[in-house]
Amino acid sequence: MPLSETHMRPSEITRLFRDCGAWQDGHFLLSSGLHSNEYFQCASLLQHPSLASRVCQTLAQRFMSEEVTCVAAPAVGGILVAYELARYLGTRAVFAERVDDRLKFRRGFHLVSRDRVLVVEDVITTGGSVEEVINLVQDSGAAVVGVGALVDRSGGWVAFDVKFHALISLNLKTFPASECPLCKEGVPLAKPGSRGL
């Protein structure tokens, strides 16, 4: 599908996350194992197809020159992001699932050496899941040509060996469980992520 010139500014995207209830305050256990007082529940935004389309089209525009042949993501958070980006880039989308605590391509998904793969995620904190998908892609002999995310909550601290772009980049505090001030205050801990799926 050809891209229009629609481009959302980071301030617009940030406002969308707040308005949809996707940017939440509380005490959260992140998929990385770290704790935080802020959480991005991207599903709250992505449940609205028109909003998902707008934000993912903006992200897709950053990778138009990379000749992407496949978009790959870790399940569960990256699935819709990969699908929407693939739609705009005119290619296919695959996702990796956790099996015995390791990400694997299943469901007949496979890559070949001529594939140029864009790896995407909804939210990046440490980049661990993205690195796992990058390794899967490279093990298949395909090339990783970029990494994209809706949110980089590391504030630019996370880096990859390929082109990386996030729609919004925020330096949000995270804490090891042993050092978490919210735990010390007795604030109930929520585990909203999908790492165990």
**Rounded Cα distance, 33 and 67, in Å:** 35
pLDDT score of 125: 87
Show me where the domains of the chain are located. 10-184
Read off the pLDDT of each residue in 158-179 and give the average, rounded to a whole number.
93
Q: In CATH terms, is domain 10-184 a member of 3.40.50.2020?
A: yes
Angle at 117 between CA 34 and CA 151, to 5 degrees: 35
Q: Confidence band (pLDDT; 50, 70, 90) for 73? A: very high
pLDDT at 2 over 50: no
Average pLDDT, the chain: 91
pLDDT of 100 higher than 80: yes
Mean of pLDDT values over 115-144: 96
Reply yes or no on whether the pLDDT at 1 is more than 50. Answer: no
Does this model's pTM top 0.85? My answer is yes
pLDDT band at 172 (very low <50, low <70, confident <90, very high): confident
Q: What is the pLDDT of residue 104?
A: 95
pLDDT digits (tens, 9 = 90+) for 48-61: 999 999 999 999 99
Model confidence at 196, in pLDDT bands (50, 70, 90)? Answer: low
User: At 105, which amino acid appears?
Assistant: F
Return the ∠ at Cα 153 (arms to 132 and 96), rounded to 5°.
Answer: 25
What are the phi and psi torsion angles at 13 (to 5°)? -65, -40
pLDDT band at 103 (very low <50, low <70, confident <90, very high): very high
For residue 125, give the amino acid letter. Answer: T
